[in-house]
Amino acid sequence: MANPGFAPPKLKDFILTEKLGSGTYASVYKAFRKATDINWNADNREAVAVKVVSKKSLNKSSMENLLTEIEILKTVRHPNIVQLKDFQWDSENIYLIMEWCSGGDLSRFIRSRRILPESVARRCLQQIACALQFLHERNIAHLDLKPQNMLLSGNLLKLGDFGFAQYMSICEELRGSPLYMAPEIICKKHYDARVDLWSVGVILYEALFGRAPFASRSFAELEEKIRSAKPVEIPAGVRVSAECRDLLLRLLDRDPNTRISFHEFFLHPFIDLEHSPSAESLGKAKALVLLAVEKDEAGERAAALSLYCSALQHFVPALHYETDRQKKEVLRQKVNQYVSRAEELKALVRSDNRISFEEARSSRKILTEMSRDHPRLLAALEVASVAVAREESGAEDYETLDLYQQSLGEMLLALAAESQGRRREHLHSEIKSLMSRAEYLKELIKMREAQTDESLKKDSSAESVRSLSFDSAVSDPPKKSFMRSFSDASVNVSLSWSDMALLQTNHTEP
């Protein structure tokens, strides 16, 4: 048999073609399944990736890694984990026949764009989290998470290369890639599955800022940076949302005991697993939009707008999950009509709120005068005024939302310590008003993100992206009968990663 380093080996039922890469003891080839019947069509032949492992190169440790990889991949089936289709062996090699992922790996994807918009990084992280949640429930740790081990297929990100993975027990060996290793591994301390959370933090950092947080020229330099007590810093001049910043810093906590837990990670609002693409996405969206239509027809505009926004946050994942182009286009057209109605309601609700907002402004002035002896509350009121001014000037973005959240945090502390009286009454009223505005703004931001995401899949030009704002023309409001025309057919996504990142970079990230 030919040496896999020079010519593709021969494998029953498959034709091995180009070499995709090689590692310490394995090479990976693209391959095609051979014809099995007279109806075989060369254009539709199945592509796979074949990992060819030379038996001569395997020592005891690498053989254990390989057997672990086979054992784990044989038993797991998840859309965000590369599937092991089969494995074979002969006198010279062991062959792992893997699912083919045509989009390359996440490392190349990041390098080709230098940095990823936060919304694209979130989608990557959301899918990583889905895979990790599946593994965590089965007590499996990966132990070598890095962009090179994350493959792209269509719009799906899939974890691969489980050579270091194991059913968690006490570990003593140095495992994984140093740049993505948790401090407890590099410092040769006891470690457990929480090292995967650190690696996720490094990957998120690299996706957002184009480099790893401890990029080094040598292992010694990396170890020195890891051992330093200096906290991880967000690069100056780069805007990230408060939720993203919070998750990033909690993932990159050197102490595994204070690092974010898996439970907290899966529930974190930045990841937002509730709105990840799944078979349930369309059903959730339909249920919410039915309620929205009912509220809309009853004249309850604010409630209807809130429900339309919530529905859209499930409709877009449903579009990502759908693979049938015809169904996808029908669904997209229907969603666009709901978006148009939500845009219309936004203007109406803003008009409805004008009087109550004016009353709140007057109340805020009174509260400000009453708080001259309370510097922290006074500062919080000033921050709230800035947030309101930004929102009313059209800055409906995460920066404005962060200002609302900062001011509300201080005000809630002040309210807890405030004794009964007029100032407490005004403060309570102000908090309710600001919470209402913050929730309204958050829904609009989420809806705009969802609308942009959904619309970008249809047209890649920058001009069309700019034209798809909430100030665009609206269509007639939808009717109940329109909603009920949705097909109950099962759905399953199809936006290429290349198109998604290219298009996302054409709109300003919050």
Would you call 320 helix, strand, or coil by DSSP?
helix
Q: Of 500, 494, 489, 497, which is closest to residue 282 (Cα–Cα)?
A: 489
DSSP code for 102? T
Q: What ranges in 138-216 are assigned the alpha helix state H? A: 183-186, 195-209
216 burial class (0-12, 13-18, 19+ CB within 10 angstroms)?
middle
DSSP code for 194? T
Angle formed by the axes of helices 195-209 and 118-137, to 10°?
170
pTM over 0.85? The answer is no
Return the pLDDT at 452.
67
By residue count, the chain amounts to 510
Q: Where in the chain is the domain with CATH 1.10.510.10?
A: 106-275
CATH class of 14-99: alpha beta
Q: Of 200, 191, 193, which is closest to residue 172 (Cα–Cα)?
A: 191
Host H or E run for residue 74:
helix 60-75
Return the pLDDT at 325.
85
Return the pLDDT at 152.
92
Angle formed by the axes of helices 325-370 and 375-392, to 10°?
140
Q: Of 507, 500, 510, 509, which is closest to residue 466 (Cα–Cα)?
A: 507
User: At the topology level of CATH, where does 281-470 sit?
Assistant: Methane Monooxygenase Hydroxylase; Chain G, domain 1 (1.20.58)
49 burial class (0-12, 13-18, 19+ CB within 10 angstroms)?
buried
Dihedral angle of Cα 413, 414, 417, 420, to the nearest 10 degrees: -140
DSSP code for 56? G
Is domain 106-275 in CATH 1.10.510.10, yes or no? yes
Burial readout 472-500 (b: 16 or more C-beta within 10 A, e: otherwise): eebeebbeeeebeebeeeebebbbebeeb
Task: List residues with catalytic annotation.
Answer: 144
Return the pLDDT at 2.
44
What stretches in the chain show pLDDT beneath 70? 1-6, 23-25, 35-44, 162-177, 355, 451-510
Measured between alpha carbons, how far is residue 241 from residues 198, 397, 409, 445 in Å?
A: 20, 10, 17, 12
Return the pLDDT at 190.
81
Return the pLDDT at 462.
31
Would you call 298 helix, strand, or coil by DSSP?
coil
Q: Where in the chain is the domain with CATH 1.20.58.80?
A: 281-470
Return the pLDDT at 44.
61
Does 51 belong to an annotated binding site? yes
What does the mean pLDDT of the chain come to?
79
Host H or E run for residue 147:
none
